[in-house]
Amino acid sequence: MVRTFAPYLRPQWPGYALAGVLALAGTCTGLLKPWPLKYLFDEVLVPADGGARADAGTVLVLLVLALLLITVADSLVGLLRGYVLSALGERVAAGVRSDLFARLQRLPMRYHEGVPVGELTNRITSDVDRVRGVLTSTVVDATTDALTLIGMAGVLLVLDWQLSLGLVLVVPLLAVVVVGSRRRIKAAEEHARVVEGDLAAAAAESLVAIKLVKSLGREDAESERFAERSSTSMRAILRTERTSAGFAYAVDVLVAVATAGLIWLGASRVVSGALTPGDLLIFTSYLSSFFGPTQSLSKLPAQLTKAGVRAERIARVLRRRPDIVDLPGAVPAPVPRVGMGLTGVSFAYVEGRPVLRGVDLEVPIGRTLAVVGPTGAGKSTIASLLCRLQDPVEGTVTLDGTDLRDLTLDSVHRHVGLVLQEATLFRATVRENIAYGRPEASMEEVVEAAKVADAHEFIQTLPQGYDTLLAERGASLSGGQRQRLALARAVVRGSPVLILDEPTTGLDARSERAVLAAIRRVSEQRTTVMITHRMAAAMTADHIVVLDHGVVVERGDHQTLLAADGVYAEMCRLQHVDARTGNGHGAADRRTVLSPHPTSTPHPTSTPAGADGQQTDGRTTHGAREPS
């Protein structure tokens, strides 16, 4: 914890210094508390000579005032210390959370794909909160307890060394109990944290897929699954609590036995005249106060162990270095003037299981390339490589002939935009979603981008137009509407190279036509790479590359690939796309295929048609299926 969190603690040293001063002041006021009562007993109530003092009334008033002053001062010191510790804790937690979140943003996609969102959320929230408590309140409280014990031991040694010796002998017994319990507490806490992460992940997973859950009538099943995970989490937490409670009980019993024995010994020494009643009062008061800090300190290892488990989870993220970083000497990417390309590129998510093997392709400036192939062929991996979300294992990905690894990440992302298959929208206004990639964009630029992406018309029908607050993930919009907003976002961003990853997957025929028309307008004067298995989209490209099992198996335009009667032609037949739908690839032909008026009656070549002439959305009415 010290090694990981020292950078967050150093800037707060003035606050820790103040907390230390207040801890010392609290120790002093705590030690002074019983002394007015000692003098009350020895000088007023039970004087040593057996007679009454002439000034007993005055001494009584002074002692009461002293007791009041000490109590008020102790409360004030405690109040100030509590506030200072809270402020320190929040500042430390804010710094850790911010850096933790920033690191998660920079970690590679394969890390996020391997760790559930609920688990990561737990690290940012509950794990940070637990560590914050240890780094602030627990540390300062432990310092106060240690100072209190030292002060009490010194005073008691002066009063009666024999009683003090009996008190000190209890400490090794407490140490034995602590050492015996620490390992059990750590194991129980580690298991509880793993189960807690599984519970959060299950909740997040089910809530994200709520539409699917409801559509399949799986509400009860999901509730039962969550209840089962919740019960498992409850049992793990209760196991931790039982282990901690057993430890606390053992400490409390030991303290109770020691207290009883020491009070009996102290009373015996008063009877023998070795101590005054006031001395015994000091001793018993310190005895109760002594075992309080002792118990707290004896439980400190258990608290540190629990927090240490969480701190290690946080430290693992903070120690993890991003795979994709700016190399030394990286330069900003210039505005593309030639194009992008892959040369001899191979890639594997798992060593020994390549996804791409020796892929070569070029995307000339201002042209459109379609990358097609069955699911699992490696198409989306090419999109990630072109955007430098991944680096190739072998070969190079270039922009104007320069390896992307020799260019700064920010400049690559500025010039190469990505529209994902699942259009990601935030719980924000339509305008904020469109301008997400360039928040400083003016309203005029946002509206113009929406018009280019064929989204302006439906946006105007929303309750507050561009100021309409969208539901989480854009759930209140159709798939085609979400995709067109994502295209508008790409337009506002202004990236000269645009990567479209399965832009029409899951859309009905009308939505597909609308999105394809928007893609045509967005792609004008842009270099575009379209990753797709939809032939209605692929046939509009200037050039088509066909992938199968990570290898380029075919290249050419629509007519050439149809004539080759290979993988591409087979995919066209499955989707009822044939030569009649793709006669030519000039700009005029693409305008025919991509009707700018998706709601109007389509040209016969507007959409793929079934064998019986009925309009389809890529699915046949005769039982044929899309390639999986």
Considering the domain boundaries, does residue 55 fall inside one? yes
- pLDDT score for 48: 58
Considering the domain boundaries, does residue 367 fall inside one? yes
> Would you list the DSSP string of 260-287?
HHHHHHHHHHHHTTSS-HHHHHHHHHHH
The answer to whether residues 377 and 295 belong to one domain is: no
The answer to whether residues 290 and 438 belong to one domain is: no
The answer to whether residues 277 and 352 belong to one domain is: no
Considering the domain boundaries, does residue 489 fall inside one? yes
CATH of the domain at 98: 1.20.1560.10
- pLDDT score for 604: 33
- pLDDT score for 559: 86
Q: What is the DSSP letter of 581?
A: G
Considering the domain boundaries, does residue 627 fall inside one? no
Strand-by-strand arrangement of the 368-372 sheet: 416-419, 497-501, 527-531, 368-372, 543-548, 551-556
Contact 481, 508 (CB under 8 A): no
Q: What is the mean pLDDT of each run of 10 residues along the chain (628 residues)?
A: 80 84 84 79 65 68 86 88 84 86 81 74 82 77 80 78 74 70 72 76 72 70 82 83 78 77 79 76 74 70 76 83 83 87 88 87 88 83 88 90 90 85 80 87 88 86 87 75 84 85 72 77 81 82 88 88 86 71 38 34 34 34 33
Placement of tokens 């104007």 in the chain: 400
Run of H or E including 486: helix 479-493
Distance (Å, whole) CA 266 – CA 277: 10
Distance (Å, whole) CA 448 – CA 452: 6
Considering the domain boundaries, does residue 459 fall inside one? yes
In the chain, the amino acid numbered 22 is L
Contact 324, 110 (CB under 8 A): no
- pLDDT score for 395: 92
CB atoms within 10 A of CB 376: 13
Contact 67, 37 (CB under 8 A): yes
The answer to whether residues 307 and 381 belong to one domain is: no
Distance (Å, whole) CA 149 – CA 506: 70
Domain that holds residue 561: 339-593
CATH of the domain at 456: 3.40.50.300
The answer to whether residues 273 and 414 belong to one domain is: no
- pLDDT score for 51: 57
- pLDDT score for 343: 92
What radius of gyration, in Å, describes the C-alpha atoms of the chain? 36
Considering the domain boundaries, does residue 609 fall inside one? no
Looking at the structure of the chain, the number of domains it has is: 2
Distance (Å, whole) CA 567 – CA 171: 79
Contact 152, 239 (CB under 8 A): no
Considering the domain boundaries, does residue 251 fall inside one? no
398 strand-pairing partners: 341, 403
CA nearest neighbour of 541 among 553, 527, 557: 557
The answer to whether residues 399 and 475 belong to one domain is: yes
Considering the domain boundaries, does residue 214 fall inside one? no
The answer to whether residues 499 and 584 belong to one domain is: yes
The answer to whether residues 513 and 388 belong to one domain is: yes
- pLDDT score for 344: 92
The answer to whether residues 287 and 357 belong to one domain is: no
Q: What is the DSSP letter of 580?
A: G
The answer to whether residues 410 and 308 belong to one domain is: no
The answer to whether residues 406 and 519 belong to one domain is: yes
The answer to whether residues 305 and 343 belong to one domain is: no
Please report, for residues 82, 103, 122, 223, the alpha-carbon distance to residue 130 in angstroms, rounded to integers and kept in the order given: 17, 20, 11, 29
CA nearest neighbour of 414 among 335, 307, 516: 335
